[in-house]
Structures are given as structure tokens and as C-alpha cells.
Structure 1
Amino acid sequence: MQFAMNSLDLPGRPEDTRVVVAMSGGVDSSVVAAILKRKNYDVVGVTLQLYDHGAATHRAGSCCAGRDIDDARRVCETLGIPHYVLDYEARFREAVIDPFAQSYAAGETPIPCVSCNQTVKFADLLATAQDLGAEALATGHYIRSRANGAHRAMYRPVDGDRDQSYFLFATTQAQIDYLRFPLGGMSKPDVRKIAEEMNLSVATKQDSQDICFVPQGRYSDIIAKLRPEAASPGDIVHIDGRVLGRHEGILRYTIGQRRGIGVATGEPLFVVHLDAEHARVVVGPREALATRKIYLRATNWLGDEPLDAIPAEGLSIYAKVRSTRPPRPAILHVDKNQVIVELADGESGIAPGQACVFYSDDSDDSRVLGGGFIERSERDADAERMLAQLASVPYRSVA
């Protein structure tokens, strides 16, 4: 017997279709559960307890801990759906917090939200949803997905201000086929309106922050505790080799930073490199940050054709190296398994550990083609030469 497709592009009636909703305790995931319940799906709410860092479990903007679990439970009671809390604290530390701290200690600028989606939510929780007999896992992410041949593909959401596609580039094809994103066609005000209409207790709750597990937003506290070497003092060095001063740990600096560097020379200075091995913060003029070529690692390709089928001259795509900026023209190259992106307009302040995400175009409905983590960037010839010369000089601190 052939069944008609329901609103989630699944065969069968909604009441015969079980959907697990990942509920963080915020308004977005709560409204997802509410929408699906209103459409008569068999909804099961699951909340992951991810961490317990004292103040972080009670502050506004946290998620998946403390009062957020209570908020998710109250929403499920209001909707009349079952709610389960799963203790993923050890797994979250292993897959997200420890790599986050390790990456910072290595002089990178990691994105823990990507790691969380890649491991805990879309791997571990997805497997749990399947164990519960669910035909889909729904989340409150602002991104769209729809059928693309025998599979599904992801597209930017209607609400460009809430676009979370940058943080979902590592989602695999098998995961995309199982996931559903009911909020992709809605705006944030629409979501809050539904929450109010359905008398959800979280209707006016503050949105969560990106780094949800960091107390008071001070990530340096956690990094210093888990990777003390990142808090070791060292020299602040100009790209031309001059030692300008001292710092109290590279964990307090990011590539492209201008304010709070701790030295003054009468010229605008920016952090252009973090030398973790020698605990050096390398600074220089804005021009030393300019780059057009990015080398990626752990690339996840979601295009229709295989990555190794990209022609020698490269593939025209659009790319984002920051979540808050629109996709810009770029050329994607693959050279002996090394994925390289050439940015047509260039960019500055690109840091290792960040993401470069691929899109089909720059429209509001562009398709997500994957992405990768930035391993290194190639700057202009002068900056590359000065950095190479600096690295070749035997290091001796002035301390």
C-alpha cells in the first residue's frame, strides 16, 4: 500500500509518525514541538543535559542545563507530550569542551556549536531518536531542507538574520535525510507569536548564546583550567621581528583583534598570528591580515557530484568565512585531496579553526554545499615572507 506524504515529507498520517524533538529549553525548539503536536504528530521531547558548570546553569543565555531542562519539561507538560532527559555530560565534554580548549591552546579559534551539532546532537541524539522508533529528528535550527532527488538538501532560511547554516555545514547526507527543520520558513517574531498563542512558558525567554557552556561568557576561564599552557605569559612581537611587550596568555587573543592587545606604538596594530609553540602573539598592520586563499581540513561535501570530480580549473561557488556575513564569490579547488578556496574579493582576519562554508549562490534560498575547517590561510607575499622569516629565527624571550 502506498501512503501519501505528510507535511514532513514522510509517508503516512501524522498521528502514525513519531518525531523526536531536540528540546534545549528555549523558545525555538519548544515551538517546533508545539507545531508538530498541533499537526497531530506523535511527538517525543528529548533534552540533553550537557554540562554543569555552576553559574552557567542559571545565567540567562545558557541552554541544556539547570533551569533550561525545567523549562523544556514544563513545555512538554503544557503540550501533553512525553519528555526525557538524557545525561550526555561526559560525552559533551569529550566531544565539544575538551577539543574546544585544545584548539584554543593551539592558537586556533574554534566553533564549538559546529562540534556539538556534528557529534552530540546529530550523531548521538539522532541514534537515540532511531532507537525510540522515530522517523525523524526535528530541531529548532533556522535552516530549510527539502527533497533533492532521492535525498534531501539544506538551504538558507527565510529569516536571514537567524541563518544558522554556517554552523551546520558538517551535517552528513544521511543525517540531513533524517533531520527536519520546521522553523526554516519562519521568522523569529512568528515563532514567538506561536509560543504566546499556545501559552508556552518560554515565549519571552532570552535566546541562548553561541558558547552556551561558558560561565559569564568568559571562555578564558575554562581554557585556563583545562589547558593551563594556553595561559602562559609570552612576548608580543611585531611581524617585522621587534618585541613590543608581554602578554598573559595567547588564549586571550584572536586573529584580527585590534582592541586590548596591550601595546601602543602609534600605529594601528592587529593580531596577525598566534605562535602557540613559543607563546608569542604576533601583531602587525591591517594589510598583514589580507588573504585570498584558504586551505581546509575535515571537509564535508554535500554537492551532487563527487568532490574529486571538480575540474582542474576549480568550481565556482559562494563561501562564508564568518557566520554573520553573506556568501561571497569563490573558487573551490581540490589538489591531491587538499581542499583550497580562493576568495574572489579577499578577506581579513581569517583564523585557523574557523569554518569556510560553501553555498550554491548568494540568494536567500541558496543551497548549502558543505564546508570545512580552516587549517591555514595564505596572505599576500610580503606578509608570508615576514612570517616565514620570523619563524626561522631562533626564539628567545626577553623575559
Structure 2
Amino acid sequence: MLRALELVEVGPAPALRLELGRRLNVMTGDNGLGKSFVLDVIWWALSGSWAGSPAWPLGGAKEPKISYRMDDGTGNTSRFRFESQEWSTAGVRARAIVLYARADGSFALWDPARNLDPEDYKRPRGTGQTSLYANADRTRRQSAYLFEPDEVMNGKLHQGKTICNGLIRDWVSWQEKKPETQGGRAFLHLCETLEQLSPNPQGGAETILAGKPVRLFVDDTREFPTIDTGYGEVPVIHASAGMRRIISLAYLIVWAWHEHVEASRLLKQEPVSELVFLVDEVENHLHPEWQRRIAPALLRVLAALAPSMDVQAHITTHAPMVLASLEPHFDSERDKLFVFELEARAVSLREVPWARFGDASRWLTSPAFNLHRARSIEAEQAIDDASALMRGEEPRRARTCEEVDRALHDTLADQDPFWPRWLAFVEDRGT
């Protein structure tokens, strides 16, 4: 597992350092300050490849570097080589499955049983150079698997070999197998995972259930999996964006684990007991009801892959509902919350001590989001003017008590907690 990450002259700030939690690391902050970038670097540190564009030095950088440390003490410092315009070898590869769900719907997977070249098994752990970075003609296996959204659905080939059949073929194939077979077990696992990740599994009607496969097109002979939505069976390819993202994630978790177990069997070695999960904008496309379930559900699903599975998760979010949902599960001994901020035209990253705020509204005004008030901008401005009047100061916008009162009536709900203060003030003034 990754324990520390340090960036110098690369990314959004001259220097960033994270001391990571053993189990869960949550990152929040405004758009464009580096949350996705940090996930990209974590993926690179663990897999040795970039899921998208490589990290790039800041303008005017002299000695850009990326350093990381694993929990077993191993690690590496990679420096940018200006002459070749690339980073030096990342070094130690993780002996854990690493799954990265990106905000654009693409996925990346690192599997030590499928992505390590055979020569790497002969090297002791901690050896800096691996054959993943040898001459391309000598490297037999892909250094990692990168899936575009279409490849998740339809499969992926590499040098004439099938890396992944894709959700459509695997789902239908697994569904047709007997429960005691490998495919049958994978389908049962998929159904359990979909149920766990559903918007409201306790309610029943919003549980994602597998329907019957269906033929859709004249010129496509495949049968397509369907989900029972409660109002009918809908082909997976026609499901909503939120449904498709969660279904794709459920499939990749199940597929990655079962393929790892099978690859380990062929290699005559034990499956790994560590998994690192990265997800960018975990609330992407999800309704608030779903937002308050998804992060705890993912932790349960990943921990249940094997009896002794050790999970480390790195998630980014803009949703206060996601943070509120983690209150019963957050363990300050193993979990951390980080906030990216822009101060004086410089990006800073700070660890925020965990606290329970009780609901999403209070999380909006917490140090994680730092809004002045959890209301509309217009309501906040009206309250600021009213508060100025009550302090005996000149309001910034409305000039009279009547104008302030009108602005409050136009913007505040009837039961807003600010009303008793304002009404008492008006009564004292006799207006």
C-alpha cells in the first residue's frame, strides 16, 4: 500500500506532500486544483504507467521529481529527464491489484499476476529496474490495462489476444452457466455486487437486478444483458449514465478479481490479499440518495473479495453527501481527509482533522468545502446586508430596512433559521 507521496515542481503547486491513510483517503476541493492529478500520480507510482497524459513539470522547473514510499519501506524517487522529455523509471511495482475509475468513464487496471513480466518474478521485491521497462520487443505482457468506456462494454484485444471479453459478452456468458462453474460463480458475484452498489437495496424497487438477455439489432447477433428497473427490463447499453458507470464498475471489480484468481492458479501462486482502489468523482452522475450509499458500499464490496483482503481507497469528491455518508465508517487511525485550496494564487494541500457535522448542509460550511453559508448566493447576500444593519453598519447592496426585508422574503424559505433574528430586530426598531 502507498503511504507517502511527494511532488516537487510538478502539477498544480511547487511542492505537495501527502502522508496517506492506511485504508481510506478522501480528497476534496475546488475544480482544477489537482485532485485528479494526484490520483493519476498515485496510479503511476503503483503501476508504472500513466492512465492518461503524463505529469508535466511546472514552467521554469529545475529539478522536478516525484517521490513515493510504500508501507513496507520500499519506494522510489523519479526525476524528469529534460533531454528525453520523460520520467525516470518509477521503480517498485505494487504487489496489489490496482483499479482506477476515472471521471471520463475510462478505467485502468494493474494486476501483478497478469501485468508483471515473468522475469520480474525472479527479482527480489524492492529491485528498482523491472522488465516492464525493457525493450518493447522483449516485453511480453502489457504493463497495465487501460479501458476506454467502449472497451469495457465490448472487450479489448492486444496483439491478437483477448484481454477482456467485455461486459456484454461476459455478463450473458456467465448468466448462462451453472452456479457451480467458474462463470456461474462470477455471475452470482456480479449480482451480489450490483445489489450492494444499488441506489437503495433495502427499498427493493431500486435494487439493480439482472434481467433476461435480449437480442436488439438486426446486424448485431449478440444478446445484450438487461437490468430489471422495477418498471421493466432495460438493456444495459440503454441505461442511464449513472447506472452505466456503476454497472461498469461492478463488472470490472468482479472481472478483475476472478481473472486474477484464474491467472494465479495458472501461475501456481496464491492470489494477492491487497487491493488499491482509485475513483475520481465518486458521486459522478448519481442522485443524492445514491451518493450517500456509494462510498461505504464500495468499501464493503472490495473488502469482501477475499476473507483477508486488505483495501486502500483513494477517492475524490465534490459532494457533501458523500462525506456525510462516511461519518459512521471513518476511522481516524486508518483514514484521512485532504482539502485542496487556492490561496494567494498558489495551490495548497492540507489534511483536515475528521469531524462529524451531521448532515450535508453542515458539511458545505465545514473546512472541507468552506462555503460561508449553505444557501443560494442571493440569499447569502441578503443575510449579509441584514446582518450589517443589525450591527449598525451600512449594507453593501440594499440601502434601507425595507429593501433588506424584501430581499430576505425573495430569497429565504419560510422556515429559514435566520427569520427569528431578523423579525426580533425589526420589532425592536418598530418598523
- Same-fold call, TM > 0.5? no
Shorter-chain TM-score range: under 0.3
User: Normalising to structure 1: TM-score of the pair?
Assistant: 0.23
Structure whose CA Rg is larger: 2
User: Normalising to structure 2: TM-score of the pair?
Assistant: 0.22
